[in-house]
Structure 1
Amino acid sequence: MRALAEFIMRGRMQATLVVAGCAALPLLYWLGAAAVSLVLLRRGLKDALGVLALGLLPALLWWLYSADPRALMVLLGSSALALVLRASESWNRVLLVSIAMGVVFSVVLGVAFAPQIEMLSQALIKILPEALGDLYQQMSVEEQARFASLIAPVLTGLIAALLQIVSVLSLIIGRYWQALLYNPGGFGREFRAIRFPLGLAMLLLAGMLLGPNFGPQMAMLTPLCSVPLVFAALALIHGLVAQKRLARFWLVGLYVTLLLFMQLIYPLLVVLAIVDSLIDFRGRMAPKDADNANGEG
């Protein structure tokens, strides 16, 4: 990873080669987004604009000829988040802005993948009586119709939330590279300090629970508002492992469990982040003089 980061920072041509090459490959666009984030964080928009523009060309071709906007969305999304992080030095702000970015993603996906999402939602609606059993039969006709109307927006929100997560992860990789080259250890301290104040955590929880009450299309807020809380919970766990000097095995176990039991662990992480906003598990144990990972100057 360090060798790749050094290659990217060697010059504009090298950075453009990595970004454009990764964007041209369907499964590596996230790596190109991380490379753009690194250049943006270190050198700013002026120097990164040319790299980003050339990197967007293959992503745009994917959208035009394959009807797949994911690479373009992640490149633009991670770049926007990198600008926010560079300007604010606040991961809380980055994660909150990612919700607005996710809403934009949802709108784009609703246009680009409307037939596929509608087909999948209709298939899910057909199996609802069998999946919910007696609970579905106890619903009134109006409740069944309202429940069915939420399927497509939630599916759109889930796909948008996945791209939102990929965009944030690309930024995390770019920030990690920046700290690796210019401020070793800085990113770890920065990431482990992420924690939402109680007010913001409650707002995110309200967005998750109350969003569907403002109309079917607002159901997309449920998955989108959960993403910042999940990252805050992961930061908490990383922080506790570092403070207690536990083996990295615990973190490996966490991510393996998260991948295998996503439906169970994901909501638990959301709850953990909300509880941490109340209790502050790290509390005064967190280092107060932690350096940021900007690596400039």
Structure 2
Amino acid sequence: MRSIADFIMRGRMQATLVVVGSAVMPLLFWLSAAAAGLVLLRRGASDVVGILVWAVLPAALWWYLGNPNVLMVLAGTLVLAQVLRATGSWTWVLLVSVVLGVVFTQVLTFFSADVIEDISQLMREGFKEYAAESNVPVEQFAGVQAAWIAVLPGYLASSLQVFCVLCLVLARYWQAALYNPGGFALEFRAIRLQPAVAIALLLGVLLAPVAGTPFVMLAPLCTVPLFFAGLALGHGLVRIKRLSGFWLVVLYGAVMIVGNLICLLAVVDSLFDFRGRLARKTGAGPANGEG
């Protein structure tokens, strides 16, 4: 992967080739977004504009063909990259990702209504089959079914929100690999939400489902920052305790099984700062991707 980053940073032609070429292939839309994010992080918005002029063409074509994800992830990643470049704060990045998620929800609701309806219909049929197999009247599942269908656009938008953050993570990793080896690891392990931010996100997760249809979609969007903060906590604790890489495998296995617990631990860490209590004073300064 470092070789890809090195090729991207050789010049505008090489960067344009990767960004545009990846955008043409929908399965590589993440590479297009990460490459554009790297250029923005390293060289600024003025250099990335010339590349975007060409990258928007295939992304807009995919939107016209019914796949707006390519353009939304590309644009969302660049917004987050600019936030990180301007503030140097992953907390701000994660908070802005929630705003992006809200925008994505509205875009999907308007431009992908048929896709959402198709998925909703599959969910209705699934509930009917489950009710038939369990000999329970389908009416008893009406409330649960309605809740899942109402929150569906939020879940779809949160997946794009996650992709935007992951593309920025890759771009930042590339930047550090080229110009400050090891800097990204320090930066990622230091991610910790402020108590007020973490509690506000937790309230969003808990209260949005009971606040009515217009707000129910916020729940999955508010989960994303807590999820990444929880991952950072896990990486930080493994590093501080000098544990083997096996424990990172356990961490990601736990994420797949009990992801909500990881989010809750991120909230608790914001209050009690587990890493700060365990870490010894090293005198290390902040890592901003380039030292």
Give the TM-score normalised by structure 1: 0.89
Is the 1:183–1:293 Cα contact (8 Å) retained in structure 2?
no
Shift of 1:253: 3.5
Is the 1:153–1:218 Cα contact (8 Å) retained in structure 2?
no
Which of 174, 177, 181 lines up with 2:174 in the alignment? 177
1:1-297 aligned at under 5 Å gives the runs 1-64=1-64, 66-125=65-124, 127=127, 130=131, 144=142, 147-256=144-253, 258=255, 262=256, 264-284=257-277, 285=279, 287=282, 289-295=284-290
Q: Which runs of 5+ in 2 are unaligned?
A: none
1:190-227 deviation per Cα after TM superposition (whole angstroms, max 9, x unaligned): 11011112211110011111113332131111100000
Shift of 1:52: 2.0
Amino acid paired to 1:207: G
Deviates more, 1:111-120 or 1:184-193: 111-120
1:219-266 deviation per Cα after TM superposition (whole angstroms, max 9, x unaligned): 1111000000000000001001111111122213332454xxx3x321
Paired residue secondary structure (1:252): helix
**Counterparts of 1:88 and 1:81 in 2: how far apart (Å)?**
10
Paired residue secondary structure (2:274): coil
Task: Sort the Cα spacing of 1:116 and 1:33 in 2 relative to 1 into closer, same or farther, 3 A.
Answer: same
**Counterparts of 2:124 and 2:8 in 1: how far apart (Å)?**
47
Q: Which runs of 5+ in 1 are unaligned?
A: none
**Counterparts of 2:5 and 2:168 in 1: how far apart (Å)?**
13
**Counterparts of 1:125 and 1:21 in 2: how far apart (Å)?**
39
Task: Sort the Cα spacing of 1:288 and 1:61 in 2 relative to 1 into closer, same or farther, 3 A.
Answer: farther
Runs of 4+ in 1 over 6 A off after TM superposition: 131-139
Amino acid paired to 1:94: V
**Counterparts of 1:36 and 1:114 in 2: how far apart (Å)?**
29
Shift of 1:106: 0.7
Shift of 1:149: 3.9
Task: Sort the Cα spacing of 1:228 and 1:113 in 2 relative to 1 into closer, same or farther, 3 A.
Answer: same
Is the 1:189–1:290 Cα contact (8 Å) retained in structure 2?
no
How high is the sequence identity, in percent, across the aligned residues?
Answer: 51
Give the TM-score normalised by structure 2: 0.91
Q: How many residues align?
A: 286
Is the 1:42–1:294 Cα contact (8 Å) retained in structure 2?
no
Shift of 1:148: 4.4
Is the 2:234–2:251 Cα contact (8 Å) retained in structure 1?
no
**Counterparts of 1:105 and 1:153 in 2: how far apart (Å)?**
15
Task: Sort the Cα spacing of 1:6 and 1:224 in 2 relative to 1 into closer, same or farther, 3 A.
Answer: same
**Counterparts of 2:121 and 2:283 in 1: how far apart (Å)?**
52
Task: Sort the Cα spacing of 1:11 and 1:196 in 2 relative to 1 into closer, same or farther, 3 A.
Answer: same
Is the 1:78–1:168 Cα contact (8 Å) retained in structure 2?
yes
Task: Sort the Cα spacing of 1:290 and 1:71 in 2 relative to 1 into closer, same or farther, 3 A.
Answer: same
**Counterparts of 2:249 and 2:33 in 1: how far apart (Å)?**
24
